[in-house]
Structures are given as C-alpha cells and as structure tokens.
Amino acid sequence: MTLQTEIPRESLTSLAAKALHHRSFIAGFFVTVLVAGMAALSFLWTPYDVTKLVISDKLLAPSAAHWFGTDHFGRDVLSMIMIGARNSIAVALVAVGIGIGIGVPLGCWAAARGGFVDEALMRLNDLVFAFPALLSAIMITAIFGPGAINAIIAIGIFNIPVFARVARAGALSIWPREYILAARAAGKGKALITLEHILPNIATLLLVQGTIQFALGILAEASLSYVGLGAQPPMPSWGRMLFEAQTRMAQAPWMAIFPGMAIVITVLALNLLGDGVADILDPKSRRRR
Amino acid sequence: MTAYLLKRVAIAFATLVLASIVVFAVLEILPGDPARLMLGMNATAEQVEQVRTQMGLNDPLLLRYFHWVGNLVLLDFGRSYTYSVPVIDLVRERVAVSLPLALIALALSTLIAIPVGLHAASRQGRFGDTVSMGVSQIGVAIPNFWFALLLIYLFAVWLKWVPAGGFPGWSAGIWQALKALILPAVALALPQAAILARVTRQAMIEVLSEDYIRTARAKGMPYRAVLWRHALRNAMIPVLTILGLQFAFLLAGTIIIENVFYLPGLGRLIFQAITQRDLIVVESVVMLLVATVILVNLVVDFSYAMIDPRLRGRS
C-alpha cells in the first residue's frame, strides 16, 4: 500500500487570487468571453444585415463604414464574422459535449472493470486513431450530406476516444488510493465509487482536455466548411468565408485576413485558457495534446 | 523484446483488419448504385443488372468482402468509375505528389521544431524561451489552409517568386516541381512544427531535472555533451509519439492543402472521389492511408524499443 499525503483543498478565494495573477488565464479568459459575447450580440445586432446583398458595395476595402471591408456580394465582413462565431462555437461545443458524454463513461467503465472490457475499448480507440480524423470527418459529412449538424457529429465522434483515454488514465491513477479502498470496504459498488470519488477527482483533467478539444473543434469546423462540407450558405461560417476569399486574394485580401484572424485569436484564447486552468487548479497536471 | 514487438505487430494487424471491415461496411450503406452510376441515367434495368453481376455486386456480402480484401493485398484496387483507369495507376501518379509533399513537410517541421524546443528548454524562463514559446502558441492556433492563403498572397501574388498553385509534374524538372511543392510544404509544416517544438521543450525540461543529468554535470561532463548524449535521447519518446501522430495528420492535411494549391495528389483525389461517389477509389485510398498510419505507428513503437532499453524487457 502506498502512503499518500493529502493536499489540503484550496478555498475558492485562494483559487480566484491565483487566477487573477495568472497572465495567460486572464488573457485567454478575457478574449474567450469577448468572442462568446460577440457571438451572443450577433443574435440581437450586427453592424449590417448579412442577408441583404448590396452589390454596389462589393469588395470595399476596410473603412470607417466597414471596419473589415465587404465581400463579393457587398456583405459586411465584420457582421459575417460575428455571426460565423455562433456557428463555430456551437459546432465545437456540442462536439465536445458528445466526446464527454460518451467518452468519459466509457473510459471510467474501462478503468473500473479492467481486463477484457478495458482491452477491447482500448483496441477500439486504436481503431479510431488509425483513421486520420479530418479524412473521416470529410467522409462522414460527404456520406450524410454537408451541414452543421453532420459536422458536429463528425467532429464529435473523434472526441469520444480522446476523452475516453483521458478519463481512463485519470481514473486508473485514482483507483489504487486509500479512500477508494475505504469506500469499497464500506460496501460501495464500482458505479457509485466512480460517481462519487473518481469523477470529481478527474474533473480538472477533463476540463483542461475540454478546452483543448474545443479549440481543435473550431479548427476542424473551419476546415470542413472551407471544403464546403460544414455550415451551408447563407449561414456565414469562418471556413467558408476563407474559401470564398481564396480566388479573390489579389483584389480583396481583407476577405481572407479577418476571418482567419478570428479563428487564430479564438483558438489561441482557448489554448491559453486551458493552460491557465491546468496551472491554477492542479500545479502538477500537464497538458496533453 | 521480441514479445513486445510481436504484441505490437499483432495489434497493428488486428487494427488493420477492423479498419477494413469498417471501411467496407460504411461504403456498403452508402446510397447510390455503382453500376447505375457507371452506366448513366439512360441505362435499362437489365443492363444495370448485367453490370452488377459482372462487377460481383450481387454476390453475398461476406464473399464480396473477402474478394475485396484479397484484391487489396494483391494491389489490385479495381477500376475507377469516373476516370475509367485502374485505381492503382491513379494512386501511383498521385502518391508521387503527396508523398514528397508530406515528407518535405515532416522534414521541415522536425528540422525547425527540435532545435527550437531544445533551445527553449535549455534557456527555460529566459528571453529566447518566452519568445519561441509565444510564437509556437500562435502557430498551434493557425489553421494550415489560412496560412497557405497568406503564403500564396505574399510569395505568389505579391512577390511572384513561386506559382500560386498547380503542379507541372516531375517531368518538368525537379526544380520546377519542387518550386510548386515548397509553399504547400511550408503551410503544412509550420503549424505542426509549433506543436512539436512545445512537446520537445516539455520533454527536455522534464529530463533535464532528472538526477542522472545532475550526476553527468557533476562528473564534469560539458553541458552540450549532456544535452545531446543524455537528455535528448531520453526526451525522444514523447517527441517520436507526436511525430508518428503528425505523419497521419500531415497525410490528412494534404486533403485540404492540395485543394488550396490545386495539387494533383492523393488528398485531392480522395476528396474528388468522395464528392463524385467514386467508391472504388474512396475505399482503396482510405485503406491505403489507414494502412500507412498503422505502419508508421508500428515503426514508432519499434523505435521506442530501440531508444529505451527498459521497454525491451517488458512484454
């Protein structure tokens, strides 16, 4: 039996104080909130109506009236980026939800049962990892038809083994502890122990992995809509905006520059946020990619 | 060691078999009759039926699966419906573009990332570390196809140093062909290099805090020698894992990047085949890519055993 010194639980205030001094957490948190706020605001208001095509205003360079310029239909690029944020966030968030909702129970189950169940699930994991994620996502969306819903499913499927792995590894490190032994001696079943003791202890790991997968989901959604398999027009999406910008790079580089920056800034902010959360909640944890 | 390697080979083989079942099953449930696609809309029902029998589409499921796998093993991939040429010829032609592209990208990424990661780790917390990790943090967040667009704008549209897309073929001369591949390779490599540099740094930092590093330093070994002889070797395991994963990612990345640059590679072939429902091409190329990924991971597993003697004893 191993000796374990319990680290005293940190109070919420001390965590908050730590968070306030963590630069990457602050920066990541602030920008993430800004992007989410921008997406929320777009439901109520955007600088211009993107459903109206004003051909006379097409391909205008950035100006006071159109901060990020206009596209080939005369639509305001800033307004489109704001609405596109909705799509990116929704797709990535639901895909993470699918990954956690299915992957975590599977990973916990594998860790609790061990033996054949564990081996079988890990081999299934190997199988999914053998398919390059983007290739399979393209196949899935091509088979079931392009669109935001199918993009969510395609990205979500690849989140499942990721969360299953993280949950299993985390759970396996908790199971040998004394308090688990005590709980078992007290007659608790494996399911109850997983619910009451394992899950709260791996929540940090899952939270950190969640922000990473969220960021990767935004990149994946952009790739899918770039090749025309994500959200369909007239719904603006960042990837699609880049596709439409490609043939007009020479006349209207702003059509490509700003949506791309939106992707980079959002993903960067989420990664910084994830780093920060990992540092603040658990100094020992390292990020996995 | 043999037991460890045998187990890895067995797992790789089982994964490959499972993958082939998945690919076969997925394409089985796809809508659309290949025979009808081949003959066009004007064909009569009898004609379609005749071609179906000819193509073996009316055989029992299991028989068709074994027939398909058997032919794959013999490198007989069948004929493409849309191109009307043997798939193997298409693949051979396209691999000549995609493989060099992926390898150049992998080489670029490794050549940039490992020195940067080493440098950052040996100057942890100092200026060089902060700058390189800041840049890599941004690199991780950049979608490669956006980066590709920016490269096209800068080097093709503005400076006119290289073509914006297309591929002249290797027959046009190695220099012309490489010129067409260099921007796509850079676009693929740099975001990957950012990830690899971070992993290298992290692995090195961990190794550098080990006791044996202090011992080596204490016995008077020069810092550089410690870094190369002891630290790098021990830090290679996570780095190799990521390299293996990245190869799969690079292969898939070619699908997008080849579309950006209009390169006639495997990625573009598979993308077009999916949209045109050319199933024979899709299933062959997907299996080829999956087999490559599995093989690369197996090579990574083998190299673990070569690098880390502790793994050799384990079965």
**Which two three-digit tokens encode residue B285?**
């190329």
Omega of the bond prior to A234 within 30 degrees of 0, cis? yes
CA distance A100 to A212: 13
SS3 A50: coil
Greatest distance between any 2 Cα atoms in chain A? 77
Distances (CA, A) of B210 to A6, B86, B117: 25, 56, 18
Average pLDDT over residues B258-262: 90
The answer on B36 and B118 residing in a single domain is no
Amino acid at A40: A
Cβ burial B184-222 (10 Å sphere, 16+ → b, else e): bbbbbbbbbbbbbbbbbbbbbbebbeeeebeebeeeeee
- A289–B199: do the CB atoms touch at under 8 Å? yes
Average pLDDT over residues B105-113: 93
CA distance A161 to A156: 10
Residues B190, B259 contacting (CB under 8 angstroms): no
Give yes or no for residue A287 having a pLDDT over 60: no
Residue B300 in domain: no
- A246–B149: do the CB atoms touch at under 8 Å? yes
The answer on B248 and B102 residing in a single domain is yes
Residues A71, A59 contacting (CB under 8 angstroms): yes
The answer on B125 and B191 residing in a single domain is yes
- A138–B274: do the CB atoms touch at under 8 Å? yes
CA distance B221 to B215: 9
For A:246-265, CB contacts with B below 8 A are 246, 249-250, 253, 256-257, 260, 263-265
CB pairs under 8 A between A and B: 115
Q: Which of the four pLDDT bands, split at 50, 70 and 90, describes residue A8?
A: low
All domains in chain A, ordered by first residue: 76-283 (1.10.3720.10)
Residue B27 in domain: yes
The answer on B114 and B238 residing in a single domain is yes
The answer on B139 and B11 residing in a single domain is no
Within 8 A by CB and 6+ apart from A79, the residues are A42, A46, A47, A48, A49, A50
Q: Which of A66-75, A182-191, B44-53 has the lowest mean pLDDT?
A: B44-53
CA distance B233 to B210: 13
pLDDT in tens, A122-179: 888 888 888 888 888 888 887 788 888 888 998 999 899 999 999 998 898 888 888 8
Give the model's pLDDT for residue B251: 80
Provide the residue count of chain A.
289
**Which two three-digit tokens encode residue B179?**
């010129």
The residue with greater pLDDT, B54 or A173, is A173
pLDDT in tens, A68-111: 888 888 888 899 999 999 999 999 999 999 999 999 999 999 99
Q: Which residue among A130, A256, A289 places its CB closest to the CB of B19?
A: A130
As a 3-state breakdown, chain B gives helix, strand, coil percent values, each rounded to 5, of: 80, 0, 20
Strands (E) in chain A, as ranges, are none
CA distance B290 to B33: 25
Q: Which residue among B14, B195, B293 places its CB closest to the CB of A123?
A: B14
CA distance A137 to A159: 12
Give the model's pLDDT for residue B314: 47
CA distance A280 to A17: 10
CA distance B243 to A116: 30
A263 contact residues in B (CB cutoff 8 A): 141, 143, 146
Domain that holds residue B57: 2-73
CA distance B42 to A104: 52
The residue with greater pLDDT, B309 or A271, is A271
- A130–B293: do the CB atoms touch at under 8 Å? yes
The answer on B124 and B45 residing in a single domain is no
Q: Which of the four pLDDT bands, split at 50, 70 and 90, describes residue B57?
A: confident
The answer on B161 and B31 residing in a single domain is no
Residue B24 in domain: yes
**Which two three-digit tokens encode residue B50?**
């005749």
- B146–A256: do the CB atoms touch at under 8 Å? yes
Residue B294 in domain: no
How large is the C-alpha radius of gyration of chain A?
Answer: 22
A228: left (phi over 0), alpha (psi -120 to 50) or beta: left
The answer on B154 and B64 residing in a single domain is no
**Which two three-digit tokens encode residue B264?**
């006639």
CA distance B174 to B194: 29
Provide the residue count of chain B.
315
Within 8 A by CB and 6+ apart from A22, the residues are A276, A279, A280
Within 8 A by CB and 6+ apart from A67, the residues are A47, A78
Give yes or no for residue B274 having a pLDDT over 90: no
What H or E segment, with its residue span, contains residue A211?
helix A199-226
Which of B14, B43, B73 is the last residue in one of the domains? Answer: B73
- Going by C-alpha positions, the residue among A228, A36, A53, A71 that lies closest to residue A148 is A228
* DSSP designation for A47: S
Give the model's pLDDT for residue B82: 78
**Which two three-digit tokens encode residue B163?**
């073509």
Residues B98, B267 contacting (CB under 8 angstroms): yes
User: What is this model's ipTM?
Assistant: 0.84
* DSSP designation for A8: P
- Going by C-alpha positions, the residue among A73, A282, B26 that lies closest to residue A274 is A282
CA angle A91, A97, A98 (to 5 degrees): 90
The answer on B126 and B61 residing in a single domain is no
The answer on B97 and B66 residing in a single domain is no
Mutation for testing the B interface, residue in A25, A244, A246 having most B CBs under 10 Å = A246
Average pLDDT, chain B: 85
* DSSP designation for A180: H
Amino acid at A225: S
Give the model's pLDDT for residue A160: 93
pLDDT in tens, B182-237: 999 999 998 889 999 998 998 888 888 888 888 888 898 888 888 888 888 888 88
Residue B34 in domain: yes
Residue B307 in domain: no
CATH, residue B259? 1.10.3720.10
Place of tokens 């796998």: B69
SS3 B166: coil
How many domains does chain B divide into?
2
Residue B85 in domain: no
Which of B39, B73, B107 is the last residue in one of the domains? Answer: B73
Q: Which of A17-31, A52-66, A98-112 has the lowest mean pLDDT?
A: A52-66
Average pLDDT over residues B247-262: 85
Residue B22: CB atoms within 10 Å:
17
The answer on B192 and B45 residing in a single domain is no
CA distance B38 to B280: 12
Residue B217 in domain: yes
| CA B147 to chain CA centroid, nearest Å | 19
Give the model's pLDDT for residue B242: 83
CA distance A282 to A286: 9
Q: Hey, which of A61-70, A73-82, A257-266, B154-163 has the most confident mean pLDDT?
A: A257-266
Q: Which of the four pLDDT bands, split at 50, 70 and 90, describes residue A265?
A: very high
The answer on B58 and B97 residing in a single domain is no
> Minimal Cα–Cα distance from B142 to chain A, Å?
5
Residues B145, B256 contacting (CB under 8 angstroms): yes
